[in-house]
């Protein structure tokens, strides 16, 4: 007989085949229970009920665009003067997207381009805001962009600024860190983009960026529908997943989010997309991490509501109902510590100062999370009812 441990409870499975099935369900939440012989009796079905409604896709494999961490060289031709001056957020401007396929041949397709975002769409924040690309599915069939339609592209914000470019790499790494902790997270693909202004005789420049998996492709991958609601309740959120992302938000130093409600006058939720059944179980998947301590962007500032000293001041915003899961979640982060640091080390373009800042910020988190008394004081005691 074998058993897995989950949130402090043991669960019995009849043979290694059943146990592998059990492990795969845990894996959808990014948890790694350990299998060991066990003689106590607890039906597998009862253990599985703990994870009722967990994400479960047909194969869970990412699209080809997001199947590798290699930097993708893109060429985007568009009327950049109009894009930056008018900053359209509904109408797409005509453009062309070019990349090189596996054989070395250039592939070019039509791509509509428009600006997107909230704070970064402001001229006061970003001279070059984030954009959304809109490709024609019929043109990208059987290519690297197969299955894609509308894609978010995080841009460099300010052309020629090393610090802003470093912020792009740091935010990309935050997404990759969440990928390491759970597959129920948006995949990303790092870019080196050559932007060509069709209104200035092909004047061009090159800058870093990254693409984010769309809601629709994410839903297809994890097997959960996009939930369109105005707001939700904590009781409907999957507790294990919610606790994992709550601790992750503490890890990256983020207070600019809400898993249950959107900003005034906007739909749910703030920098969070819900997936699942609004009446039974939802998974609050976070995104948009530029205002975090881990990214430490030049324009980054703490949420004034919380009176924090700096954007790198951490404040836990997890739910008190999930405090009983904190120890198991902390252990999950500890088990992935080496892999998270390795992600930072693997990006050669990350400067020494940015790498040191990220590493030290992570060090402080692990000093806190690894100490039971600090964990109680900084997380459990700060929870939201």
Q: Mind listing the pLDDT tens digit for each residue in 254-280?
A: 999 999 999 888 889 999 999 999 999
pLDDT for residue 185: 98
Asked if the structure places residue 363 within a domain, the reply is yes
Given a contact cutoff of 8 angstroms between Cβ atoms, the answer to whether 101 and 217 are in contact is no
CA distance 76 to 85: 18
- Count of all residues that appear for the chain in the document: 385
Euclidean distance between CA atoms 185 and 147, whole angstroms: 18
Cα dihedral 236, 237, 240, 244, rounded to 10, equals: -160
Same domain, 235 and 166: no
Q: In the chain, pLDDT over 70 holds for what percent of residues?
A: 85
Q: Is residue 119 part of a domain?
A: yes
Q: How distant is the alpha carbon of residue 188 from its chain centre?
A: 8
Mean pLDDT of the chain: 88
Q: Which two tokens stand for residue 223?
A: 């097997």
Cβ-count burial 330-358 (b if 16+ within 10 Å, e if not):
bebbeebeeebbebbeebeebeeebbebb
- Asked whether residue 94 falls in the same domain as residue 182, the answer is yes
Residue range(s) defining the domain that contains residue 110: 64-217
Shared-domain flag, residues 311 and 360: yes
Considering the domain architecture, whether residues 256 and 371 belong to the same structural domain is answered as yes
Residues 6 or more apart whose CB falls under 8 angstroms from that of 103 comprise: none
Average pLDDT of span 201-224: 97
Q: What is the largest CA-CA distance in the chain?
A: 75
pLDDT at residue 62, rounded to an integer? 94
Shared domain check, 41 and 85: no
Q: 55 falls in which pLDDT band (50, 70, 90)?
A: low
Rg (CA), the chain: 22
- DSSP structural state of residue 121: G
* CA atoms within a 13 Å half-sphere pointing along the CA-CB vector of 117: 25
The residue ranking higher by pLDDT, 242 or 56, is 242
Residue 57 covered by a domain: no
Does 266 lie in the same domain as 162?
A: no
341 and 369 both lie in a single domain: yes
Best CA proximity match to 41, nearest among 80, 1, 68: 1
Domain termination site, one of 217, 234, 250: 217
Q: What was the pLDDT predicted at 180?
A: 98
Q: Which residue has the tokens 């060090």?
A: 363
Per cent of the chain over pLDDT 90 is 81
In a domain, 56, yes or no: no
Among 186, 217, 248, the domain-final residue is: 217
Query: Does residue 92 share a domain with residue 12?
Result: no
- The answer to whether 173 and 343 are in contact (CB under 8 A) is yes
Give the least confident one: 49-53, 277-281, 345-349: 49-53
How confident is the model at residue 264, as a pLDDT? Answer: 87
Tell me, yes or no, whether 88 and 212 share the same domain.
Answer: yes
Query: Is residue 68, in this structure, part of any structural domain at all?
Result: yes
For residue 6, pLDDT beyond 80 = no
Domain termination site, one of 14, 30, 51? 51
DSSP-derived secondary structure letter, 127: S
Say if residue 308's pLDDT is above 90: yes
> Do both 235 and 376 map to the same domain?
yes
Q: How far is CA 11 from CA 111, 161, 218, 339, in A?
A: 51, 53, 30, 28
Let me know the angle formed at the C-alpha of 287 by 186 and 112, rounded to the nearest 5 degrees.
Answer: 75
DSSP 42: -
N-terminal to C-terminal alpha carbon distance within the chain: 40
pLDDT for residue 59: 63
DSSP per-residue codes, 249-304: HHHHT--S-BSSB-STTS-S-BTEEEEEETTTEEEEEE---TTSTTT--TT----G
pLDDT at 318 over 60: yes
Is residue 330 predicted with pLDDT exceeding 90? Answer: yes
Same domain assignment for residues 124 and 257:
no
Question: Could you tell me which of 72, 145, 84, 156 has the C-alpha nearest to residue 110?
Answer: 145
Spatial separation of the C-alpha atoms in residues 288 and 172, rounded to whole Å:
10
> What's the domain count of the chain?
3
In a domain, 138, yes or no: yes
- Is the predicted pLDDT of residue 164 greater than 90, yes or no? yes
The beta strands (E) that lie in 295-354 are given as none
Q: What is the pLDDT of residues 351-371, one digit of tens each?
A: 999 999 999 999 999 999 999
Q: Is residue 370 part of a domain?
A: yes
- Judge whether 86 lies within some domain: yes
Higher pLDDT, 203 or 10: 203
Token output for 381: 């005691």
Residues 25 and 174 in one domain: no
pLDDT at residue 266, as a whole number: 87
Task: Tell me the pTM.
Answer: 0.86
**Tell me, what's the pLDDT at 172?**
98
Decide: 92 and 114 in contact? Cβ < 8 Å. Answer: yes
Beta strand pairing call for 96-100 and 188-197 = unpaired
């Amino acid at each position: 007989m074998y058993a897995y441990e989950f949130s402090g409870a043991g669960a019995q499975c009849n043979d290694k085949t059943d146990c592998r099935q059990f492990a795969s369900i845990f894996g959808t939440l990014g948890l790694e229970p350990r299998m060991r012989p066990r003689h106590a009796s607890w039906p597998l079905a009862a253990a599985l009920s703990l994870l009722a409604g967990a994400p479960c896709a047909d194969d869970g494999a990412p699209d080809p665009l997001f199947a590798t961490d290699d930097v993708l060289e893109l060429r985007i031709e568009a009327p950049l003067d109009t894009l930056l001056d008018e900053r359209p957020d509904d109408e797409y401007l005509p453009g062309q997207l070019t990349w090189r396929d596996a054989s070395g041949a250039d592939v070019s397709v039509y791509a509509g381009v428009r600006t997107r975002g909230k704070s970064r769409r402001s001229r006061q924040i970003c001279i070059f805001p984030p954009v959304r690309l809109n490709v024609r599915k019929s043109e990208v069939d059987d290519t690297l962009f197969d299955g894609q339609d509308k894609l978010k592209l995080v841009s460099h914000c300010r052309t020629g600024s090393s610090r802003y470019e470093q912020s792009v790499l740091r935010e990309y790494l935050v997404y990759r860190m969440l990928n390491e902790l759970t597959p129920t997270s948006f995949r990303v693909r790092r870019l080196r983009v050559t932007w060509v202004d069709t209104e200035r005789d092909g004047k061009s420049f090159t800058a870093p960026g990254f693409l984010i998996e769309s809601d629709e492709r994410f839903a297809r991958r994890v097997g959960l529908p996009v939930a369109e609601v105005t707001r939700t309740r904590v009781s409907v959120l999957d507790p294990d997943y919610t606790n994992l992302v709550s601790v992750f938000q503490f890890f990256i130093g983020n207070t600019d989010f809400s898993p249950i409600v959107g900003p005034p006058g906007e739909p749910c939720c703030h920098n969070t997309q819900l997936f699942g059944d609004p009446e039974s179980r939802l998974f609050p998947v976070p995104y948009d991490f530029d205002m975090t301590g881990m990214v430490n962007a030049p324009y980054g500032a703490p949420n004034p509501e919380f009176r924090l000293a700096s954007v790198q001041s951490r404040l836990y915003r997890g739910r008190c109902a999930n405090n009983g899961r904190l120890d198991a979640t902390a252990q999950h982060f500890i088990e992935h510590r080496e892999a998270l640091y390795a992600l930072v080390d693997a990006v050669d373009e990350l400067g020494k100062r940015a790498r040191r800042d990220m590493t030290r910020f992570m060090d402080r988190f692990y000093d806190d999370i690894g100490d039971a008394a600090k964990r109680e004081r900084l997380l459990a005691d700060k929870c939201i009812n």
